[in-house]
Structure formats: C-alpha cells, structure tokens
Structure 1
C-alpha cells in the first residue's frame, strides 16, 4: 500500500481541480435524503414508509432520466446537457416544502428525471484524464471525496432542519443546486479523449488519455449493474434505518454525525483500497458491504450503533469505486456517458426497492428490521450474482476447450 499513488494522481493536469469542484457540487445530492425523510415524518406527519415512497419516486425519475442525460452529455457536451437540469431541479426543491405529500411524490419524480448528473460526469471525466493503470486509485479517491461530502452535507442539513425548519433546508437545497450546477458548467470538465487532447494541445500540456476498449453491452456489464443495484439497496436501506433508530431513541438531531461516522468508515476503506495494488471484484465487495451491515440491526444504544455503522461503511467506497473502474474498462468511450447513466439507473432501482421496503418494515417492526432487511437482501443478491458469474465463466471455459483440436497420442 502506498499513499504516493494519490500524490502522483493529483499531480496530473485537471485532476485536482476536478476533485475540488466535485466536493462542492455534490453537496445538494448528499443532503437531500435526510432532509426529505425528516420533512415527511415531521411537518407532513407521515411514516417512514411514506418517506420511502418519496425517495422511490425520485429514484424512479433518476432511473428513467440518467441514461437519457448521459446520452445528451455524449452528444451535446456538458454545458448544453446540464442547463435544463439545473433550472428544473432547483425549482422543484425550492417549491417542495409548500406541497402536499401527494404533490411532493410527483415533484420528486420530476426532480429525479432532471437531477444534475454530478456523480457520473465526474467519473466520466476521470476516465479520460487518468490512464488505465491509475484509474482504480482515481475512482477510489473519488469515492473517498464523495464520503467527505456525505460526512459534512447531511450534518449541515440536519442542523438547518432542526435549528430552523425542513422548509429552510429544502429551499437551501434548491439554491445550492443552482450553485453546484453553475460551478460544474463553469469548470466544464472534459468527458471525452478528444476534448482532453484539444485542451492539452491548446495549453501545451501532455495528457495520457485512456483508450476506449470493450463493447457497450455485455454479460460483464449486466454483472456490474447488478452489483450497483445491490449496493444501492443496502446503502439506502441503511440510511433510512439510521434515522429511524435515532428517532426511536429521541435523538433525531444526532442523525447528521451518525451518518458522518458511517461515511467516515467508508472514507478509510476507500483510502486503503485505492492505495493498494490489488483489485477486487465489485460483487465480492458488495457482499462484504451487505454482511457488515447486519450487525447494526442488533445495536440497542447510540454508541453500539456508531460502532456498527463505522464497520458497515468500510466496504462502501471500495465497492462503488470497483464498480466504476470495471465499467470504464468494459465500455467504449463514445458510449460511456450513456452507460454511466445506466449505472445510475441500476443504483436508483436498488434505492427505489430498498428505501420503501426497509421503511415499511421499520414502521412495523422497528429500526433493527430495516438494517436486517438491507443486509440480508444485499447478501442474497450479491451471492447469487457471484454464483451466476462463476457458472458463466465455467461454461465459457468449457466452450473454449471444446473448440480446441484434439491431441492424438501415437
């Protein structure tokens, strides 16, 4: 393990600035989940199941919109593709506090459809700014920076929501969306090798762009999308369960720092994974994520829950970075924006299943049931994916062996 890998990575043209812009631009998305949950169970007087329905509406919109917006980035460029998303999403979340529950569900779906694709754009840009041999470290660093945002943004969101109101928090998200989208459009990070080469030629800098490889759609891609869906299911179920556990203990104001501890575990895991020399298959990391989430179901005090969520967070950043690294490796560059969108869709499908399912179980059996369901379902899905992958590889080897000419021993 060598942290010098990160220093070399950040010394590459454009990488450090991209990382810093991404830290800020992700704040609205990182704070939204906890604010919506507190608004639905607070001022709107609904349960966690209904909060899960709002989250599911937003994620359904994202699942539909992500591939479409990814194609627009590939075809039109970042600025033209982003402008409608910034305006519409900002308008929705600014108006959200004044809507009924039913209207909020519809508004969340619209916001999801046009959500600013910060995560996919940043990873798409890293894929062309960084050569193949450094991409695992680059995506691990990206996941670590994402966790930094998720450590700070929810804590700030909870502070605003509990000190003032969820209305103030949601309006802040709307305003921050404009700022985040504007910042990303101003920086306009390159999303193709052609753009990187053009900029480097203009500035006189040498940039190693990753070559496009692989096909757009393949069995390997389906496996990666399955891993993304499973990871998202576990993470969103855990998110809802953390808030529910603290509300049960009458400590809702502690949700921000509890989520920050969860993200802190992920940050440490991501740094270690990115500084290592060995890649691990995404499904293996998702399996670890699911299994390490289960102990949180049995935490009966805030201290035990804090220890459990730190443990559960450790495989998070490695799993998400491994998913992105494999996507970049198997998908040709000219389809990368679209396939990053499909990855976002897979994650939102997992979230759409995880949040309402865990929320309904929490309403019926308590917060522990949410953690347990997220961990067990994620375990089953990841394990099934690994079994299917092994069967596919075995059949491929047998088919290849069958094509070889027989050896005659005289």
Structure 2
C-alpha cells in the first residue's frame, strides 16, 4: 500500500498539481454539448423529436471526426490538434443559440450540430493518454499495473462525474436563467480551459519511452474483436445515458417540469462516482470480466425498476441505484481498453471509446425523443432497460472472445 501511494504521488508530481482539476473542468463542455443542444432546441422550437435529432447530429459529427482527431494526436502531438479544434468548437457553440432562436430551418440546425460534434475536443482520451505516458516514463515497472488501475479508476470516475455534472449544470442554468446560457457557458469553458489544457506541459508528452523507440501498430489492430466488444460496451453506456436523460425529460415535461431533468439526472452521480473510485480497492480475484457482468446486471435490474416507476420519488431511487452500476462498468471498460490498445495507438483507442459514449448518447436521445412524441413518456421509460441489456450482452461477447485477457489487470507494453 505504501509503495502504491508513493507511486501515485510520483504520478501527481510529474503531471503537476494543477493538472487534474484542469483536465476535469476542460472535459465539462464535451458532456454539456449534447444535453445543452437537446435542452435549447426543445425550449426554443418546442419539439423533443427535433431536439433529439440535433443531439444525434452532434453525435454523428463526433463519430465521423473524433477518432481521426485521436489518430492526428498520436501522429502530430496533442497541442497541434487541441488548440485549433478547441477554438473552432468554442466559436460554433457561441453562435448556436442565435441560430436556434432565429428562423434557420431544421436542416440548417442539424448541419450546425454536426459541426459542433465534429469539432468537440477529446479531452478525456487525451488525458488518459498523457497519464499513461507519465506512468511509462516515471513509475517503476513493478508498480505500473497498480498505478494504471488506480489512474483508470480516477479517470472513469471523472468521466462519470462530468457526464452527470454536465447535464446537471445544463438543467440548473436552464431553470435558473435560460436554456441558452448553458450553451454559452460551454463555449466559454472550451475557449478558456480546453486551450489551457492543450498548452499544459504534459501536452508535449508522447507514448514513447526513453529506452524504446516510438512504434505504432497497424491500424487494422484496432479492429480486433475483443477491443471491438469493449467499444460496443461503451457505446451501450452512451445509449443508456441518452435514453435515461431523454425519457426523464419527456416524463417531467408532461407536467411542465422538463427543465428539471438535469437536476434529477444528477442523482446518478452519487453512487456512480463513489463506486468508480472504489474499484481500485477491489480484490484481484474479482476480475475485470466479472466486474463488467456483475455491475452491468445491476444496471439492468435498476433500469427495470426505472421503467416501472410512475412517480418522481420512485424515479430518484431507481436513478440512485443505476449510478452504482454505471461507474464500475465504465471503469472496467476503460481498463480493458488500456490492456488491449495496440502499440502506439493509445490516443486513438481512448478517443474511440470516448466517441462511442457521445455517439451512443446522441443516437439514443434521438430515438427516445421520437418514442416520447409518438408513444408517450411512459413507454420511453423502458428504453434504458434495453440499453442495459445491450451492455450486458457486450460483456458476455467479450468474455467469450477473450476470457483470460478480460480477467487480467491492465498491463503496460512499450509504445
């Protein structure tokens, strides 16, 4: 324990004490993007379907360009990618409220949403890549696995908190001031904190080590089935986020309280963040494969309870239990990705996972919005259970494809 704590302190020292709060704040706009677009369009245009479609369009942009940004960062370095991309994204977010409030047709809104998603800075995967590089350079070999596991737990907890805090901020700002303020705030955060993150000294790091050349595996290695099942699992997490938030919005909107959805959605963050951080203390015999299946099943059980809830207190209880399943599941998926990432493709791999979450959230928001408008909010409440079943199925597929690899703690291989 002492050595692990000492190694973790060494990681913090090399990253810098300001790094972790900076990386946390810099990833907030990414989480606010799809929810902010959904909330603003619904408020201004009065259509949950159109709001969901715009969220899906932003996700489409991320799906098309996000992994390419990761590949560019692997090749050119993060600074050269993040600075221009962040400035473009901040500008597009800044003009979006004016476009929505104007007479722009729906097709124009969708096009702008695609551009917003395409230019979204991939802070979370870039942060993981930087920390892996520091671990490889600075942590003793016999301590690397434990430090990596703890780091992935923290990063996943940070992601989880961001995907809860982001919608919470959107709901708070939309309720207290106006829906457009959330998008304007995301623009300001991107301009200031994404740029600062890009220029942080850790942005100069790459995955090479002092005693090993910087090699890069062929791109086809990214298509290995075990890794694809992990990406499918994170896509399922995104599906779950989108279905839960949009169905909750539709349920509350029926009583004129749609703006409060982000506040209730934040309930999931409590157990989620606590258990995500707690995964670092799980015993080694509780392997990664078992964690995925156990906590994915917990999500499924809680989602079934959510589907049958017809009152706000019942929804809150179901959301709280759901959070206890989401955090550990997401940590497990990122730990597996760290294990399976091809040599020299870390940023690309992590970006693929991050993009999968956003894409899943956006597509699911669109589908759920259509269900809310056509079949009613009560029917839409069943969709998170379908998404949770998808996550469990992806875990079973991964177990069948790579049972021994799934149970190993993450290992670091030379990049």
**TM-score, scaled relative to structure 2:** 0.82
Deviations 1:250-280 (A, max 9, x none): 3334333312211112112212222222332
CA separation of 1:158/1:183 partners in 2, compared to 1, >3 Å: closer, same or farther? Answer: same
Q: Which residue in 2 is equivalent to 1:313?
A: 323
Deviations 1:344-379 (A, max 9, x none): 343344234311111211223333322312212430
Q: Which residue in 2 is equivalent to 1:77?
A: 77
Write the mapping of 1:141-220 to structure 2, written as runs, cut at 5 A: 141-190=154-203, 191-194=205-208, 216-220=222-226
8 Å Cα contact 1:66/1:342 also seen in 2: yes
Deviations 1:384-407 (A, max 9, x none): 43454455469xxxxxxxxxxxxx
8 Å Cα contact 1:269/1:318 also seen in 2: yes
Q: Which residue in 2 is equivalent to 1:64?
A: 64
Contiguous gaps of at least 5 residues in structure 2: 136-143, 404-415
Greater Rg over alpha carbons, structure = 1
8 Å Cα contact 1:294/1:371 also seen in 2: no
Return the offset for 1:315: 1.6
CA separation of 1:393/1:127 partners in 2, compared to 1, >3 Å: closer, same or farther? Answer: closer
2:394 to 371, 385, 396: 385
Q: Which residue in 1 is equivalent to 2:126?
A: 121
8 Å Cα contact 2:35/2:55 also seen in 1: no
8 Å Cα contact 2:239/2:364 also seen in 1: yes
8 Å Cα contact 2:222/2:341 also seen in 1: yes
CA separation of 1:19/1:55 partners in 2, compared to 1, >3 Å: closer, same or farther? Answer: same
Match of 2:62, SS? helix
How far apart in 2 are the matches of 1:4 and 1:244? Answer: 50
Q: Which residue in 1 is equivalent to 2:349?
A: 339
Deviations 1:181-236 (A, max 9, x none): 11211214355343x759xxxxxxxxxxxx99995442211111111111211121
CA separation of 1:27/1:261 partners in 2, compared to 1, >3 Å: closer, same or farther? Answer: same
Q: Which residue in 2 is equivalent to 1:108?
A: 113
Deviations 1:272-313 (A, max 9, x none): 222222332275244443442221122222221111101111
Q: Which residue in 2 is equivalent to 1:30?
A: 31
How far apart in 2 are the matches of 1:42 and 1:288? Answer: 34
Match of 2:251, SS? helix
8 Å Cα contact 1:6/1:137 also seen in 2: no
Matched, 1:97 2:103: no
Match of 1:334, SS? coil
8 Å Cα contact 2:60/2:117 also seen in 1: yes
2:361 to 348, 351, 355: 351
How far apart in 2 are the matches of 1:300 and 1:3? Answer: 49
CA separation of 1:322/1:17 partners in 2, compared to 1, >3 Å: closer, same or farther? Answer: farther
2:287 to 261, 266, 279: 279
Return the offset for 1:113: 1.0
Q: Which residue in 2 is equivalent to 1:241?
A: 247
**TM-score, scaled relative to structure 1:** 0.83
RMSD of aligned Cα (Å):
2.9
Q: Which residue in 1 is equivalent to 2:139?
A: none
How far apart in 1 are the matches of 2:145 and 2:217? Answer: 11
Deviations 1:151-204 (A, max 9, x none): 44433332322333222332222122111211211214355343x759xxxxxx
Return the offset for 1:77: 0.8
Match of 1:87, SS? helix
Decide which moves more: 276-285 or 289-298.
276-285
Q: Which residue in 2 is equivalent to 1:136?
A: 149
